[in-house]
Amino acid sequence: MKKSIKVLVIMSLILVIGFISTGCGDNKAVLNVYNWGDYIDPDVIKDFQKEFNVKVNYNTFATNEDMYVSIKKGGTSYDVAFPSDYMIERMIDEDMLEKINRDNIPN
C-alpha cells in the first residue's frame, strides 16, 4: 500500500511539473506541494528538484481539517495536495479541486 501511494505521489508531481514548466523558458518552475507531515523524505524532494530542475515548496499538515482550513481561507495555492478519502469528497462537493486532464498523461 505504501509503495503504491509513493508511486502515486511521484506520478502526480511529474504530471504537475509538466503543466507548470510549459513555456517557462530559462526560469526554474516552482511546484507547491501540501502533504502530510513526515510523508516524504527530504532527500527525495532534493533528488526530485535536481532531476527535474524545479523548486519544490513542500508544506505539511497534521490533519485533514488543518489542510482544509488552510486551503479554504486562501492566500496560498498548491499545485498538489494530498487529503484523504472523506476530505476529497468534501472538497469536490465544495468545488475546491480541479479535475486532472487525462489527455496530458501519456501512460
Kindly report, residue by residue over 13-63, the tens digit of the pLDDT. 555 555 555 545 558 899 999 999 989 999 999 999 999 999 999 999 999
pLDDT of 107 above 70: no
- The type of residue at 68 is Y
Domain limits, the chain: 2-102
Q: How far apart are CA 51 and CA 45, in angstroms?
A: 10
CATH 3.40.1160.10 fits 2-102, yes or no: no
Mean pLDDT computed over 65-78? 93
